[in-house]
Structure 1
Amino acid sequence: MDAEALIDDLRARGLSRPVALLLDWDNTLIDSWHAIHDAQNHTLATFGLEPWSMEEIRKRVRGSMRDSYPQLFGDRWLEAGEVFYRRFAERHLETLVPLPGVPEMLRDLHEAGLYVAVVSNKKGDYLRAEAAKLGWQRWIGRLVGAFDASRDKPAVEPVHLALEGSGITPGTQVWFAGDADIDIECAVNAGCVPILVREEPPATDEFPDHPPALHVDGCMTLSNVLQKL
């Protein structure tokens, strides 16, 4: 569906242009799968576990480390987290690849007066270092990563932190866009409008409990919709 058709559909459902856009980071704004794949398999190997394929990485890397690593590494999850982050820190800035249309979208929405913030389950220090490396922080009101709030996505605390100081409260005037089910769930939990951003459309019954309000094939389409809505 093209931007004009998406806009007609949104208007028919009574959805108007938001005042704020919250964005996931990894694989919504940047392609980070290779850095994550490398660090995750290095960590698994260190603890005597079998490596994951890229397909497994894409399916299984969703929650934050403090939510997912205890299930993988038990009582040694903090140690495993240190191994992951050491490896990731060595390489993540070298492998940053912006997804198509992202810098233009951030710039255009900022200039149009939308409040834009990031809510990610990447550790906050790494998130902000990547944004600085790319020069994007000038367009982003706040970058919230894992451990910045008292809980991580899909909990609502990161959403509240991302909007803190903006004068905007969660609701239908806030859109939350991301590529994964955890982003859609977080949006619904916070009462925001959930937007799925990825090339492939949602499969039948993929989001039975938290369906997205809108699917767009990338940030270029999302930007077009927001500017024309």
Structure 2
Amino acid sequence: MSLARPRALVFDWDNTLVDSWGTIHAALNTMFARMGHEPWTLDETQLKVRKSLRDAFPAMFGDRWEEARDLYLQAFEALHIERLSPLPDAEVLVQAIVARGHYLALVSNKTGRLLRDEVAALGWGHYFAKVIGAGDAVRDKPDRAPVDLALDGSGIAAGPAVWFVGDTGIDMACALNAGCVPILVHGPEGGLLRDEEFADATPARHFRDCMALAREISQ
């Protein structure tokens, strides 16, 4: 499928540009143990973790959700920098975008402070015009609010000139809610049409890895 070239690209962070599943899984199970909940398998974590803490935890923990949030953040913060690892060719991808002169921003459901700590730890802050995490906008993904905040001041409105790049259905839903072009990187093998996560939020294009998307951007 041919797409018009973007003026701006807005990226998800976790498991789109950096490998975070192991750290998220360890922090969740540390918190679950403290809360008296059964641990999740890694497969369960990868399947269930999509929303921000403020959107997901009230349904999971009721009136104890803020306690669960604080325990999770404490466990995550103890691990995330030392385990931080870019996905293969992720920096090649963001460098290619910057070299083409495209506006580049991040929108993540990771708590904003922790997201910015990770970007700084990799020395990647100069690549991104805006780094927007959970809690920074009035609502989190899949709402369009963080996308609008990420584009604020760029002179580029959310719409078909903006590609939203992520690895999950909630990223694709966020793109569609903002009127942007949904671009899936990584994602399921074996065909999207058989993956119900994308049934109502189908990507416009699917790239198998960061390098495949970097080649598309560089053309």
With structure 2 as the length reference, what TM-score do the two structures score? 0.96
Deviation readout 1:147-193 (Å, 9 max, x if unpaired): 00000000010000000111100111000010000000000000000
Measure, in 1, the Cα distance between the counterparts of 2:161 and 2:107: 17
> 2:112 matched to which residue of 1?
124
Q: 1:88 aligns with which of 34, 53, 76?
A: 76
Query: 1:118 is paired with a residue of what secondary structure?
Result: strand
Secondary structure of 1:55's aligned partner: helix
Asked whether 1:152 is paired with 2:143, we answer no
1:6 maps to what in 2? Answer: none
Matched, 1:220 2:208: no
| Higher mean displacement: 173-182 or 100-109 | 100-109
- Indicate the SS of the match to 2:206: strand
1:163 aligns with 2:154: no
Aligned residues: 216
| 1:116-150 C-alpha deviation (Å, 9 max, x unpaired) | 10100000000000000001111111110000000
Structure 2 residues without counterparts, runs of 5 or longer: none
Match runs of 1:169-180 below 5 Å = 169-180=157-168
Query: 1:204 aligned to 2:186?
Result: no
Q: CA RMSD in A?
A: 1.0
In the alignment, which residue of structure 2 is the partner of 1:50? 38
2:100 counterpart residue number? 112
Deviations 1:49-84 (A, max 9, x none): 100000000000000001100111110101110000
Q: Tell me the secondary structure at the aligned position of residue 192 of structure 2.
A: coil
1:193 and 2:193 equivalent? no
The residue identity in structure 2 corresponding to 1:187 is: A
Please give the alpha-carbon distance, in whole angstroms, between the structure 2 residues aligned to 1:141 and 1:70: 32
The answer as to 2:29 corresponding to 1:41 is yes
Matched residue of 1:128: which SS?
helix
Task: Tell me how far 1:205 sits from its aligned partner.
Answer: 5.3
Runs of 4+ in 1 over 3 A off after TM superposition: none
Residue of structure 2 in register with 1:73 after alignment: 61
TM-score, length-scaled by structure 1: 0.92
Partners in 2 of 1:208 and 1:225 — Cα distance? 25
Question: Structure 1 vs Structure 2: percent identity of aligned residues?
Answer: 49
Task: For 2:106 and 2:215, locate their aligned partners in 1 and report how far apart those are by CA, in whole Å.
Answer: 19
**Matching residue's letter, 2:194:** T
Structure 1 stretches lacking a partner, 5+ long = 1-8
Distance in 2, matches of 1:218 and 1:66, equals: 30
